A and B are shown apart, each in its own frame.
Chain A
Amino acid sequence: MSVLRKESFKIREELKMKKLIVLLLAILVPASVAFGAPGKPLKIGAVLNFTGPAAMLGPLFKNGIVKALEENDNKVAGRPIELIVEDGATDVTTCLEKARKLVERDKVKIIIGPLMGDAHLAIAPYMANKKVLITTLYCGDIKLGDYRNWLTYPTTLVGLTLPLGWYAHDSGYKTMVMITSDYAGGHGFMKGVRMGFEEKKGKVVQEVFVPVGTADFGPYISTLKDADCVSFFVPNTGESSRLITQYREFGVKMPLLGTTLAADLPQAVMKELGHNVIGVRGQATYIWSRDDPVNNQWVKAMEKRFGATPGGLENNSYCITSAILKALKATGGDDTFSRLWPVVVRVQLDTPQGPLSFTPEGIAITDGYIVEAKVIGGKYVWDPIKVYPQVLDPRLEK
């Protein structure tokens, strides 16, 4: 009888233990899924352009993201990071499809990119609805701040080009002609130039709108009025280089101020443009030759890793990824939007570009540089000639 009782007791204790283990698992497993258990991969998506007119930019942005992840051993708070990169094909519809795929099939909660302003506006409502943290790669419209889920880096379209408008006036120019690519991004960029220039009492005497993808700028160049300078924004390397080449061919003497040239025209392209590009001035978000310990170390590391001196594009994706990783460290690897967003907009970082912080709307505050195309030591370079520190879109200050 006592043997039977012992057996029965043993069986009951075993059952109790099993129930306890099941209960513990039932509590711990969902909790670890909800809060990102160490070991569970953290997915970060990226929509970059590897085909289409901006095909050359995707690999550069990707390099910046990859470097930031590698510096953190491809993990954060014990969670390995899985980077899922999709090709936006420089097309709004494709960007939207790929972004949806990342959210719905891959279940990502953080997306870096896309690049183009029209794509931002197209996917913004969907991303806000899905509560995904998403970033720009090279500025964004101020409206993105209203959604409160976008990190707009390095600043708004207007914030980026304000310094060029200021600079035009500071250089003694009183009148300006503007050449503007006729789409959302183009209007935004040139609005900043106009705001900065007119703020200092400069006068824009003419604004010429050119369709995206313009091949022959000749008809537009022949109608330009006389002014102290010409400022322009056209998207991508091809259009910028055609405009500059044709501008010079038509013998127009007015100084040229381009908005995003330092990113659009890297060294190899400048060399091909040759004398046509010398003397053109522009605005830049990043200067590789900036003498700063953080930047010097980063440039060396990028050159060693990818075999080429980095530019603004690699810097942009590197900085925004670094900011996100810093925020993820603070949340213990928790990538749920409600936890991550309030932390990421309070991130402050010393980046290769300079100090980085964000407004509550998620708009980055960074330094702006004015650069001039020169040949220094036999190399074509964008030489920094002026810095405007911690530029903020004035509409945010109200």
Chain B
Amino acid sequence: MEQVIINLLNGLSYGMVLFLIASGMSVVMGAMNIINLAHGVLYMVGGYVGWTIAVKLGAPFALGLLTGGLAAGFTGLVIERGFLRHLYRQTNEQVLLTFGFVYILTNLSLWVWGGWPRMPFTAKVLSGSIEILGKAYPKARLAIIFIGFVLAIVLWWLQDRTRVGAMVRAGMDNKEMTMGLGINLERVFSLVFFVASCIAGVAGVLGAQLLGVYNALGLEILLLALIVIIVGGVGSVQGALIGGILIGVIDAFGRALFPKLAMFTMYFTMIIILLVRPSGLLGRRV
């Protein structure tokens, strides 16, 4: 029984990191029809900046979380305002451009922070473990689960209970009509892109408690985010949450019970979802 609980918690903590990285990317894909392959490196940028603030400079972890998020947010805004806004509805060009930014930002991070990976770090109050059913369990992982759920509620509230969220949903449904009603969708979408990038950066710092930060992380985490979006559905925070938790838990149990098949459990899940429900669990039906 303890094994089941421990692996469930492992899955939830990993799943929360996946949710946070995927949620922003999913909303941008749904609202703006932009496939931002640079989203993974924004996660990495957030992690590196958070490390610099919290570890190198010895500042509080919360400050690292904030600055990591903002650094990723502003980087994302530069990409969107400077480049992507000229390529709306040009999917191939968006993919090429954002993939180019993957290489640019990865090599910039190599130049700034070097090739050595940065170790997992956390707040002093979150270091160490507590006892759960007689087994030691890291406090940092419980914090990731808690913060992940809080952010999920905040994002859901923003999406479903605020005027801005209504504008975003309206823009997803009918862009021309929404603009015809006098709503400056371009500004709204820039805000969406900024917020999504900030969340990616925050995810980078939170995820660094588990994974550390290294410059191959951008591409690795991007692949996982895409799997979560496919499973959960495009354009939905709730979908990203369900997708993240499902993939995280299946991955954790898959690794514990079938370690030799650990490489495939996520992909099996994705294939099954694509066969049964191609738009994803909570995605808009095609």
0 or 1 for each of A218-255: is its CB under 8 Å from B? (1 = yes): 11101100000000000011100110011001110000
A57-97 near B? 1/0 per residue, CB < 8 Å: 11100000000000000000000000000000000000000
Cβ of A53 under 8 Å from chain B: yes
Q: Which residues of B contact A53 (CB under 8 A)?
A: 214, 216
A58 and B115 CA atoms in complex are apart in Å by 10
Q: Judge whether B215 and A55 touch: CB under 8 Å.
A: yes
Minimum CB–CB distance from B176 to chain A (whole Å) comes to 43
Q: Which of A210, A237, A245, A250 contacts B129 (CB 8 A)?
A: A250
Residues 92-128 of chain B, each 1 if its beta carbon lies under 8 Å from chain A, else 0: 0000000000000001001000111111100000001
Interface residues on A, range: 35 or more
Secondary structure dominating the interface of A: mixed
Q: Which of B73-81, B161-169, B184-192, B251-259 contacts A (4 or more CB under 8 A)?
A: B251-259
B23 within 8 A of A: no
A249 touches B138 (CB 8 A): yes
Indicate if B39 sits at the interface (CB-CB under 8 A).
no
**Beta-carbon nearest neighbor of B264 in chain A:** A211
B6 touches A222 (CB 8 A): yes
Residues of B with C-beta under 8 A to A51: 107, 110
- A90 (CB) vs chain B CBs: closest residue: B216
- In A92-142, which residues have CB < 8 Å from any B CB? none
Asked if A182 lies at the interface with its beta carbon under 8 angstroms from chain B, I say yes
Q: Are B138 and A241 in contact (CB under 8 A)?
A: no
A208 proximity list for chain B (CB < 8 A): 259
Judge whether A55 and B115 touch: CB under 8 Å.
yes
Partner of A251, one of B55, B118, B136, B255: B136
Q: How far is the CA of A57 from the CA of B115 in the complex (A)?
A: 8
Q: Would B10 and A222 count as touching, CB distance under 8 A? A: yes
Asked whether, in the complex, the Cβ of A238 is within 8 Å of the Cβ of B117, the reply is: yes
Size of chain B's interface in residues, with CB distance under 8 A?
42
Q: When chains A and B are docked, how far (Å) is the Cα of A51 from the Cα of B119?
A: 19
> Counting CB contacts under 8 A, is A273 at the interface?
yes
In angstroms, how far is the closest chain B Cβ from the Cβ of A178?
A: 12
- Residues on B with beta carbons closer than 8 Å to the beta carbon of A173: none
CB within 8 Å for A222 and B216 given contacts A210-B262, A269-B116 = no
| Cα–Cα, bound, A251→B129 (Å) | 7
| Complex interface: chain A residues within 8 A of B55 (CB) | 272
Could you give 19 example pairs across A and B, Cβ below 8 Å? Answer: A53-B214, A55-B215, A56-B117, A209-B259, A216-B211, A218-B14, A219-B10, A219-B252, A219-B256, A220-B255, A222-B6, A245-B119, A249-B138, A249-B140, A250-B138, A251-B135, A268-B116, A272-B55, A272-B118
Footprint of B on A, CB under 8 Å?
Answer: 50-53, 55-59, 182, 208-211, 213-216, 218-220, 222-223, 236-238, 241-242, 245-246, 249-251, 268-269, 272-273
The 10 closest A-B pairs by CB, nearest first: A251-B136, A56-B115, A55-B115, A238-B117, A219-B255, A249-B138, A218-B10, A219-B256, A272-B119, A219-B252
